[in-house]
Structure 1
Amino acid sequence: MQFYSELPIAHLQEYAHHKSEEEGPHFPAAVSTNTNSSQGLQCYSCEGESNCLEPHVCREHQNRCRTTVMSTLTPQGLSTYYNKDCDISGKANNSISYLSNNEVVFLAEEHCERELCNEHAPNVLDVLLARGRPKKLMHCYSCGSADGSCFNSSLAQMRCSRPGEQCVDITSFSEPEEFSQDEQHIKGCGQLTHCQEPLGFHNGNSFYLIKCCDSSLCNKETQDYKASPLPLNGVMCYSCEGNFSQGCAPDDITQTRCRGPMNQCLEASGIDGVSGQSLVIKGCASSSWCDSPYTSIYKNLGGLHLRCCTEDLCNSQIVDGTTLKPSPRSQASCNPTAQPVLLLATLLLWVAFCLCSESS
């Protein structure tokens, strides 16, 4: 199923021409950028089917601007949904494309830290029209949770849209499952930061596993990690998720047996990107996850203090915010979340956003 790669360029050019005539010229809203510093950062904040430009003063804990774009391509044309807002630091720019319900979904998220810097948005149409026919574009297996295709024995295939993309395989779910969007599977093409090795985290509440590979059709695996969990690796870690009155209070902390590549104990504290509350997370993580921004991306935490260690039950030092309990024998190291890598056109705040939008 590769219909999007076979759409004639002339068809896309005609669509782009008509779209431009319908929308007419678009000019930025008149806003003053000489904002009083006491007000905080200003970002464009809105959502809808046009590249909106409505300024908004960010909350104290929000120090970046974000643009998330979801474009859906069918033989009839391209539709795009924009979501702009203030956001927290620590997230990387990522992009992914995949097949769902006989459509191709392109999803990209970009972050910036200047006043009103999220004016522009990634344009999938420009990418498709400019790419020509490079000879070495990847082919990847593709599926999405929305149509339940990720566990089919016969997966669809798609042709990637730009050089440098990898085949990706993303699984996430929560326990207990509260909403249908809590279980997510995506296979397709993408540019994801820090994805040279499997990126994984799990505890008693959540499971995340992101895999990338560099050869065509290398993402064929269809394992159901709920029905057939990854093998135990012999490591035991503390597990919790929440604040200090609920979720990560002493009575709420449990022990988790680690699985697969998640062979380090992780603990992190940060500020929730929406509520501004202090939150804590403990569980098992792969070394690549410890060195990446994905705790911020998936858990939407800013001002992150993250620590990974390799001994059983060693993730016990964060006891009050970023306060560390003395542990002179610990081999743990403090690993601040890696700075975002600028990849043109999240995904993974993006994953939740995308699937929720599809199901609405």
Structure 2
Amino acid sequence: MDFVWIPFFFLSSLVAHVLGLQCYSCDGDSNCLEAQVCPEHQDRCRTTVMTTLTRSGLSTYYDKDCDVSGKANNSVSYLSSNQVVFLAEEHCERELCNEHAPNVLDVLLARGRSPKLMQCYSCSSADGSCFNSSLPQMRCSRPGEQCVDITSFAVPEEFSLDEFHIKGCGQLTHCQVPLGFQNQHSFHLIKCCNSSLCNKETQDYRAYPLPLNGVTCYSCEGNFSHGCAPEDITQEQCRGFMTQCLEASGIDGVSGQSSIVKGCASSSWCNSPYTSIYKNLGALHTRCCTGKLCNSMIIDKTTLKPSPRSQASHNFIAPPVLLSAGLMLCMAYLLSSESS
């Protein structure tokens, strides 16, 4: 009888492979377990959890879905409108592997037993506190967290959600030195530091941009028919420590179509997963170079193929506890605005 079941299980696993990866996919205030088959271009499962702590208690919001490869696990916590916001995002690649979700209660209970925790300045764009002359402070939740400072905005700004600014505590991959990217569409800057209250800087990078550094790179986002068509590509004057020209090709996480990004980047950004995170690209192939307008290899349909792999290619292996930006920050802005 056992022999009869062997081909059945083999057939079941074969069918699952043909259909694609299955992940739990749902959102709400409970740890939901609704499975779906992922589109072909999405080969990872994701769990994003946002927990807010107020005097009246804890509330948690869960978002689970399929996702593209190349993104790291990250976590960050910060103050917003008299509450503490905890954000965590985790990725995995096995069938239905996003069953469990990070539990902030475990973190808070562990904090009470640890004497060596960082103290950081904290604020968020959700309550407009990041450019105040006096920033509030918060105690980090776990050993190993750093003080973080995250800025992201669209150029030009169209909606209030086009700008995010967060200071607080976090565990972010590749954040030993500042990470930066800019092009005609956006500006992203991530900084971490390892001493208490080291993230005090309150510069408004939109109003007071970093100084020009003399480097010029090609800039675009999209595909060869829209966004990165020859007539859409512009020249970007690079700023600050973003002295490398970057070009990357990958699979758009929503449409599943080929997509391209060009712009200025720091060398640290080139060797990190943040192009995948901020631009929502999977199976990413990244090339960075030094020299005026050197990011010109991907120019037409005949050259949209894996460029020489940097360390940020799809073989990147993320540390186990680390911020996926776009979705997490958007969720943070919306939910903390609603609860304020």
Question: Normalised by the size of structure 2, how large is the TM-score?
Answer: 0.91
- Describe how 1:186-201 pairs up with structure 2 within 5 A: 186-201=166-181
Partner of 1:355: 333
Deviation of 1:324 (Å): 6.4
Aligned to 2:89: 109
Whole-Å separation in 2 of the counterparts to 1:43 and 1:324: 30
CA offset digits 1:60-90 (Å, max 9, x no partner): 0000000000000012111000000000000
**Offset at residue 216 of structure 1 (A):** 0.2
SS of corresponding position for 1:252: coil
Q: Is the Cα contact below 8 Å between 1:291 and 1:337 reproduced in 2?
A: yes
Task: Give the Cα separation in 2 of the matches to 1:311 and 1:78.
Answer: 51
**1:152 alignment partner, SS class:** coil
Q: Is the 8 A contact 1:307 1:336 kept in 2?
A: no
2:45, 2:97 within 8 Å by CA — same for their partners in 1?
yes
**Counterpart pick for 1:337 among 287, 294, 312:** 312
Write the letter of the residue equivalent to 1:64.
R
Aligned match of 1:92: 72
CA distance in 2, matches of 1:95, 1:314: 35
1: CA distance between counterparts of 2:336 and 2:129? Answer: 15
2:204 is aligned with 1:227? no
1:126 Cα deviation from its structure 2 partner: 1.2
Q: What is the alpha-carbon distance in structure 2 between the residues aligned to residue 324 and residue 36 of structure 1?
A: 31
CA distance in 2, matches of 1:317, 1:355: 37
Instruction: Note the aligned Cα RMSD (angstroms).
Output: 1.8
Q: In the TM superposition, what are the counterparts of 1:42-191 in structure 2 within 5 Å? A: 42-191=22-171
Counterpart of 1:10 in structure 2 is none
- Give the alignment of 1:242-253 within 5 angstroms: 242-253=222-233
Task: Please say if residues 21 and 43 of structure 2, whose CA atoms lie closer than 8 Å, have aligned partners that are also in contact.
Answer: yes
- In the aligned structure 2, how far is the partner of 1:242 from the partner of 1:285? 18
Q: Separation in 1 of the partners of 2:291 and 2:309?
A: 14
CA change 1:214–1:286 in 2 (3 A) is same
**Structure 1 residue aligned with 2:277, among 286, 297, 315?**
297
**Residue 177 to residue 33, structure 1, CA distance change in 2 (3 Å):** farther
Find the residue that maps to 1:288 and give its secondary structure.
Answer: helix
Aligned-residue identity in percent: 74
Which residue does 1:12 correspond to in 2? none
In structure 2, list runs of 5 or more residues that go unmatched: 1-10
Q: 1:138·1:166 contact (CA, 8 Å) conserved in 2?
A: yes
For the residues of structure 1 that align with 2:273 and 2:324, how far apart are their CA atoms? 12
The CA distance in 2 between the partners of 1:141 and 1:322, in whole Å, is 49
The size of the alignment, in residue pairs, is 323
Q: Select 2:262's aligned residue among 263, 277, 282.
A: 282
